[in-house]
């Protein structure tokens, strides 16, 4: 049974990533031709990361996942060091107003993406070792929340609010699976909501995003521009869309559509059919990941598979909610589909680890 589940997960992942390559070409060739005089620039770069991601997924599927338990603390320390180094001018580079990249030529590596996996591994080990005291707020929950809060603050210094929220939501859901009472999460949620309000007030650009979310027409050429252009792309999609390569919004209306807003182009060109394909593939990946987690008899493996599966679906859900205007713009990529090497490598690495867990006897 696990072999069939693993095979289905591999096939679904490859289909999703290949579909992403196709749509990245469609979404980016206009901008790539204009900026680089090469319409294949973005899809070629993403193709390199796709094959590298396949290799990483294969290698990690063969590695005994218990090694992550052994080196969880070291992995966490390395993630913290990288996140601190990227904040140092001259080491970290600024892109789109955020100092969250290590620049290597035209390539960029985003350590906060890899911190997602590092934190999931560490929290999975913590929950495994402290399962008996997780009902105690002081002994069980607060120490791990302190670690999560530390990483949240580091990532917010970049600032990268979207990635920070994906990490926090994923780990909170993972902690919830350990049996912590729901009333505690209600209280934490209220405190977190107040904290988010404070973070928004502290940064004027975030307040502009909130205002543009509530009423994009209040600043249609500024903070509301991106979401309005996204909705203009989704609206005409209809049942079957405008046709592959026939998007109008990618002609310099929707900024860099191959990244966070690629779903808008999918909706415009492929219509409801494209939406159905994307959501079905994500649901299938999530379902297969949960199936592997539930069948795993090893506590650490179970938590790890849960965390990685929730991480992918939470990130995808946040991205889709942004694109259709349900929440403010957060800068979260769509796993497997958005242009971005770090995001694709981390997504495929997550699948590789889940496949390794599926082999647990």
DSSP 105-139: TTEEE-HHHHHHHHHHHHHHHHHHHTGGGTT-III
Residue 83: its pLDDT value, please?
A: 93
Q: Please state the domain extents for the chain.
A: 2-358
What the block records as the tokens of 83 is 């996140």
Q: Looking at residues 86-107, what average pLDDT do you find?
A: 78
Q: Looking at residues 279-290, what average pLDDT do you find?
A: 97
Residue 203: its pLDDT value, please?
A: 66
Q: Where does the pLDDT of residue 3 fall: very low under 50, low under 70, confident under 90, or very high at 90 and above?
A: confident
* H or E stretch at 100: strand 98-104
Mean pLDDT lowest among 10-14, 16-20, 82-86 = 82-86
Distance CA 42, CA 33 (A): 10
Other CB atoms within a 10 A radius of the CB of residue 219 amount to 14
CA 19 to centroid of chain Cα atoms: 17
Residue 206: its pLDDT value, please?
A: 64
Contacts 24+ apart (CB under 8 A), 224-227: 225/255, 226/254, 226/255, 226/261, 226/329, 227/322, 227/325, 227/329
Q: pLDDT digits over 171-213, tens only?
A: 999 998 887 777 777 777 777 777 777 766 666 666 666 766 7
> By 3-state DSSP, what share of the chain in percent is helix, strand and coil, each rounded to 5?
70, 5, 25
Residue 344: its pLDDT value, please?
A: 95
Asked whether residue 161 carries a pLDDT value surpassing 90, the answer given is no
Q: Where does the pLDDT of residue 153 fall: very low under 50, low under 70, confident under 90, or very high at 90 and above?
A: very high
Residue 212: its pLDDT value, please?
A: 67
What the block records as the tokens of 192 is 């977190």
What the block records as the tokens of 331 is 């800068």
* H or E stretch at 58: helix 41-62
Q: pLDDT digits over 225-265, tens only?
A: 888 899 999 988 889 999 999 999 999 899 889 999 999 99
Q: Are 69 and 353 in contact (CB under 8 A)?
A: no
Other CB atoms within a 10 A radius of the CB of residue 30 amount to 17
Neighbour-count burial of 166, counting CB atoms closer than 10 A to its CB (0-12 exposed, 13-18 middle, 19+ buried): buried
**If you average pLDDT over every residue of the chain, what do you get?**
89
Q: Tell me how far apart the 2 most distant CA atoms of the chain are, in Å.
A: 60
């Amino acid at each position: 049974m696990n072999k069939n589940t693993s095979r289905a997960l591999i096939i679904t992942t490859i289909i999703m990533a290949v579909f992403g390559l196709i749509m990245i070409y469609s979404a980016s060739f206009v901008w790539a031709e204009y900026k680089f005089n090469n319409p294949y620039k973005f899809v070629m770069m993403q193709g390199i990361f796709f094959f590298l991601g396949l290799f990483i997924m294969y290698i990690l599927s063969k590695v005994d996942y218990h090694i992550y338990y052994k080196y969880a603390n070291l992995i966490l320390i390395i993630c913290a060091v990288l996140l601190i180094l990227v904040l140092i001018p001259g080491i970290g580079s600024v892109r789109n107003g955020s100092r969250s990249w290590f620049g290597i030529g035209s390539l960029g590596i985003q350590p906060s993406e890899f911190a997602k996996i590092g934190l999931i591994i560490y929290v999975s080990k913590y929950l495994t070792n402290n399962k008996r005291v997780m009902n105690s707020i002081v002994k069980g929950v607060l120490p791990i929340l302190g670690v999560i809060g530390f990483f949240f603050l580091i990532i917010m210094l970049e600032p990268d609010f979207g990635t920070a929220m994906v990490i926090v939501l994923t780990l909170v859901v993972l902690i919830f699976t350990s049996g912590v009472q729901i009333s505690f999460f209600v209280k934490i949620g209220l405190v977190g909501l107040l904290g988010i309000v404070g973070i928004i007030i502290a940064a004027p650009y975030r307040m502009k995003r909130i205002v543009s979310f509530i009423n994009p027409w209040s600043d249609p050429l500024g903070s509301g521009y991106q979401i309005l252009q996204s909705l203009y792309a989704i609206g005409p999609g209809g049942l079957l869309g405008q046709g592959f390569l026939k998007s109008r919004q990618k002609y310099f209306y929707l900024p860099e559509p191959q990244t966070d807003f690629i779903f808008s182009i999918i909706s415009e060109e492929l219509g409801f059919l494209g939406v159905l394909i994307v959501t079905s593939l994500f649901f299938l990946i999530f379902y297969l990941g949960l199936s592997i987690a539930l069948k795993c008899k090893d506590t650490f493996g179970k938590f790890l598979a849960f965390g990685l599966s929730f991480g992918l679906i939470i990130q995808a859900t946040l991205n889709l909610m942004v694109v259709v205007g349900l929440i403010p713009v957060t800068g979260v990529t769509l796993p497997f589909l958005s242009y971005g090497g770090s995001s694709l490598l981390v997504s495929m690495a997550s699948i590789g680890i889940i496949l390794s867990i599926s082999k647990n006897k």
